[in-house]
Amino acid sequence: MSSAPVIRIKQLDGYRFVVDFGPELPGLLVDEAPPVGGGEGPFPEQLLVAAVANCLCASMVFALGKFKQDAGDVAAEADCVLGRNEEGRLRIQGIDVAITLGADAGDMDRIDRVLEQFERFCTVSESVKTGVPVSVRVSDGKGLRLK
C-alpha cells in the first residue's frame, strides 16, 4: 500500500501560494479568484472539484479494465454548487460530475457491471461524500445517458 500523500504549501504573496508535491513533480501556483485574489492559478474549490472528477475518471478506467471493456477515451465535466451555511459562510454544497465515454454502450457487453462498481473504487469522491453530496452521470459516445 502506498503512503499517504504529503504536500507543502508556501505563500508567495497575498493569496498566491505554491503547492509542492515533492521532488518528482513541478510546483503548482494556486490563487484565489478575483476580487479576493488575482486568479493566477486554480483556487481551492476548483482543486477539490478537479480531485473528485479525476478520481472518478481514474476509477472508471480501472473498472473498465477489470471487466475488459474498451470505452475509448474517458472525459468529464464537473462543477460545484456554492452557497452559504447557517453562519453565512461560503461552502461547497454539492459537486456534479458528468463522465463521457468515447465508445457506445452497445459495444461494451459488461458496461452494467462497470457502472455498478466504479464509484466505490474512487477514494476521493467516496471520502468527500461524507460531507458534500456528489452526483455522477455517465454517458456513452453517442450521448446516451447510462447512469
How far is Cα 144 from Cα 130, in angstroms, rounded to an integer? Answer: 29
CATH topology for 44-139 is: GMP Synthetase; Chain A, domain 3 (3.30.300)
pLDDT tens series, the chain, 147 aa: 467 889 999 999 999 999 999 999 999 999 999 999 999 999 999 999 999 999 999 999 999 999 999 999 999 999 999 999 999 999 999 999 999 999 999 999 999 999 999 999 999 999 999 888 788 989 988 899 998
What is this structure's pTM?
0.89
Edge-to-edge, what's the strand order for the sheet holding 28-30?
8-13, 16-20, 28-30
- Which pLDDT score, from 0 to 100, does residue 15 have? 97
Residue 121, sorted as left (phi over 0), alpha (psi -120 to 50) or beta, turns out to be alpha
- Which pLDDT score, from 0 to 100, does residue 134 have? 86
- Which pLDDT score, from 0 to 100, does residue 1 have? 47
Place of cell 469522491: 125
Place of cell 501556483: 29
